[in-house]
Amino acid sequence: MARDFAADINDPIAREIVNNVGVWVDKEVKPVASDFEHADEFPEPLLKGMSDMGLFGIKIPEQYGGLDLSFECYSGVCIELARGWMSLAGIINTHVLVGYAISEYGTDEQKNHYLPLLVEPAIRCALTITEPDAGSDAQAIKTTARRDGDDYVINGQKMWVTNGHRAGVYLLMAKTDPTAQPRHKGITAFLVDHDTPGFTKGKKFDKLGYKGVETTELAFDDARVPSTAVLGGEEGHGFQHIMSALEVGRINVASRGVGLAQAAFDDAIRYAQKREAFGVPIFQHQAQQIRLAEMAVKIRAGRLLTLDAARKKDAGERSDLDAGIAKLFATEMAQEVALDAMRIHGGVSYSKELPLERYYRDAPLMIIAEGTSDIQKIVIARQLVKEYPI
State mean pLDDT over 125-141.
Answer: 91
* Residue 309: pLDDT band with limits 50, 70, 90: very high
At 161-180, the pLDDT tens digits run 999 999 999 999 999 999 99
Q: What percent of the chain has pLDDT over 90?
A: 90
Cβ-Cβ contacts under 8 Å for 102 (sequence gap 6 or more) = 110, 111, 114, 115, 118, 191, 231
Which residues pair with residue 199 across a beta bridge? 220
Residue 3 has pLDDT above 80, yes or no: no
The boundaries of every CATH 1.10.540.10 domain in the chain are 5-119
Give the pLDDT of residue 4. Answer: 65
Average pLDDT, the chain: 95
The pLDDT of residue 390: 86
Judge whether 370 counts as a catalytic residue.
Answer: yes
Answer yes or no: is pLDDT of 372 > 50.
yes
List 131, 217, 332, 370, catalytic entry: 370
Contact 186, 177 (CB under 8 A): yes
- Above 80 in pLDDT, residue 239? yes
- Report CA torsion sign: 106, 109, 110, 116: positive
Q: Which of 2-6, 104-108, 277-281, 371-375 has the highest mean pLDDT?
A: 104-108
Intervals of CATH 1.20.140.10 along the chain: 240-387
Q: What is the pLDDT of residues 337-358, one digit of tens each?
A: 999 999 999 999 999 999 999 9
| CATH 3.30.70.360 assigned to 125-237 | no
**Total count of residues recorded for the chain:** 390
Which whole number is the average pLDDT over 310-318? 91
CA distance 290 to 340: 11
**Res 146 pLDDT > 70:** yes
| Domain 240-387 listed as CATH 3.40.1010.10 | no
pLDDT value of position 1: 41
Please report, rounded to a whole number, the percentage of residues in the chain having pLDDT higher than 70.
99
Question: How many of the other CB atoms lie within 10 Å of CB of 77?
Answer: 30
Whole-model pTM? Answer: 0.95
Average pLDDT of the residues in 109-123: 97
Q: How confident is the model at residue 326 (pLDDT cuts 50, 70, 90)?
A: very high
| Architecture (CATH level 2) of domain 5-119 | Orthogonal Bundle (1.10)
Residue 352: which residues within 8 A CB-CB, separation 6 or more?
Answer: 34, 38, 358
Name the β-bridge partners of 154.
Answer: 145, 223
pLDDT for position 277: 86
Give ranges for CATH 2.40.110.10 in the chain: 125-237
Pairwise pLDDT comparison (371 vs 304), residue with the higher score: 304
Least confident residue range of 6-10, 19-23, 151-155: 6-10
User: Which phi and psi angles does 134 have, rounded to 5°?
Assistant: -145, 105
Question: Tell me, what amino acid is at 166?
Answer: R
Per-residue pLDDT, averaged over 255-278, amounts to 95
Give the confidence band of 2 by pLDDT, cuts at 50, 70, 90: very low
Count other C-beta atoms under 10 Å from residue 182's C-beta: 8
pLDDT of res. 371: 87
What is the 3 state secondary structure string of the chain? CCCCHHHHCCCHHHHHHHHHHHHHHHHHHCCCHHHHHHHCCCCHHHHHHHHHCCHHHCCCCHHHCCCCCCHHHHHHHHHHHHHHCHHHHHHHHHHHHHHHHHHHHCCHHHHHHHHHHHHCCCCCEEEECCECCECCCHHHCCCEEEEECCEEEEEEEEEEEECCCCCCEEEEEEECCCCCCCHHHHEEEEEEECCCCCEEEEEECCCCCCCCCCEEEEEEEEEEEEHHHEHHHCCCCHHHHHHHHHHHHHHHHHHHHHHHHHHHHHHHHHHHHHCEECCEEHHHCHHHHHHHHHHHHHHHHHHHHHHHHHHHHHCCCCCHHHHHHHHHHHHHHHHHHHHHHHHHHHHHHHCCCCCHHHHHHHHHHHHHCCCCHHHHHHHHHHHHHHHCCC
